[in-house]
Amino acid sequence: MKNALCLASLLALIIVGEAAQLPYGTASDLDLGLPPDLTALPCSPLPFNIPGRRIPALTVFSKLAAADLADRAVPLPQANTLAHVSFQQRRFGRLSTDDGSILFFNPETVLVKFRGQALVSVLRVEPMREWEAVQWLRKRPDVEFAELDSFERRQFTPNDLRLASQWHHQVIGSFQAWDYGLGQPSVRVAIVDSPFQMDHPDLAANTVNGWDVDANQAVTSSAGIVHSTLCAGMAAAVINNGIGVAGAANCQILPININGAISDMYNATLWAASNGVRVVNISWSGGTNPVLEAAGLFLKTNAGGILVMSAVDGAGLLNGPNQPDVYCVSMTDAADNFQATMYGPYIDFSAPGYEIYSTTTDGGYASGTGCSFAAPLVAGVVAWILGLNPTLSPSDVIEMLTNTAVNLGTPGWNEYFGWGRIDFGAAAAAAAATLPNITSVRWSSNWAILSANLRPGLAYSLWRTAQLSPPNWAQVANAIPATNGGTITLTDPAPPPACAYYSLRAVRTGAN
């Protein structure tokens, strides 16, 4: 693509010094992030002893250096860590971390992986010395890692009030995808149609000005029509704003007005490609047209973008060509049945579109049925993937969607479902695996050495800040890179003396 795209990985933290272990204490449901519907469920406490599992014998601190320490540990599948007792009694170990938060952990328990052993094991250690034991164990040459048995939190569940009416999120795995993030406003989706309601309460925060290809002027406001407003909501209704419904991604969305001519659609796609749009949704017929293939190729080549179109509502065979840069989406229902779509070689994917629930005009919500609504759902998924990793090429994204789609009908491609029904959750996991994530951080001779997975075609840089709130990132100009197979290491030869937060960034340039 013409412009460089930049991606920052998750942070890695190095702290010189030690976090502070606090006295044992309680934790509230809020501290633990327990949802109200879970805490309201009746439950019977588990017994202290669990059949088939054994409580590890106590290892006093002086024995942590013993040569036979691995023999004292109990492999996790066989161990009763008593975490259920700690949880039921709300009795936790507490660690005050450098950022001021409290980490809750299972008392008297350390998780340790000994080199050469297949499983993680459990050591029961002296009370109030868990963190000290972890630090001691990490120094042993036969220990791969040692960690506290921390209590983690459930990840994101949107608070949109009408989310339960959107069955399609359960089917395609949206909740699993949203655990990785909600999308990025840096990615734009164009809804090519008569404009949608731009000031809809569930769309406005994600909406930016669009374009009228017929009038050749900006679209800055619109009362909208039902068709396009339903489409807009499927792609990008604001997630987690406490009202209404949720789209696939919190990306930017904009209208491009057309009257339905192929030339309009072509012009709309080219305008989008030239104005920062990477995903174009056209929920009209025409997906087999070579003019729109030329538009899709332009979008792919000049913006690293993807053109998603609806299949044709109806019944019977549509024996049109499968244009390589136009992705046509057929419609499924809540049971993954094929619904009211003209089938044929032009189909690439399928997605929910039957009796879906989304935004509509006058600030409202309504159900609708049609391939028109399956396509913007896929467009929103594409935008979410590009938001997670903007260095991905269109080919990368399509490969992820193809490899993770749920096979319906005959295995592989078929003329009803294409490569299958979109699996948002699985595609999100595949996208996350492409991130240049920091996999380890270590100190050696007062150098900070960070390892990450290496992805061909990206240029990596190392960034550092002494604080996260607010961060003051600066590139480590003298970072020393080295590669070995699928791993890259970047060494900071002069880290700060107290505390450093590191971020790995990658840039991709060139054509897609």
Which residues participate in catalysis according to the annotation? Answer: 193, 227, 372
| Cα 346 from Cα 330, distance rounded (Å) | 10
Please, are residues 89 and 27 in contact by the beta-carbon 8 Å criterion? no
The reply to whether omega before 23 is within 30° of 0 (cis) is no
DSSP reduced 3-state for 419 = coil
Cβ proximity of 304 and 278 under 8 Å: yes
How far apart, in whole angstroms, are the C-alpha atoms of residue 45 and residue 338?
A: 45
**Cβ-based burial of 427 (10 A; exposed 0-12, middle 13-18, buried ≥19):** buried
Order across the sheet with 279-282: list the strands: 217-219, 210-212, 252-257, 188-192, 279-282, 306-310, 326-332, 347-352
Q: For the chain, how far is it from start to end, CA to CA, in angstroms?
A: 6
Q: Which residues in 372-498 belong to E strands, given as ranges?
A: 438-444, 447-453, 459-465, 474-475, 480-484, 487-492
DSSP 8-class letter at 339: -
Give strand pairing partners of 358.
Answer: 366
The set of residues, in sequence order, having a beta carbon less than 8 Å from that of 259 and lying 6+ positions away, is 214
Alpha carbon distances (Å) from 142 to 14, 66, 137, 172: 22, 11, 9, 43
Q: Which of 508, 505, 510 is nearest to 7 (CA)?
A: 505
> d(Cα 56, Cα 417) in Å, to the nearest integer?
53
H or E element at residue 29:
helix 29-32
What is the DSSP secondary-structure string of 200-222? -TTTGGGB--EEETTTTEEE---
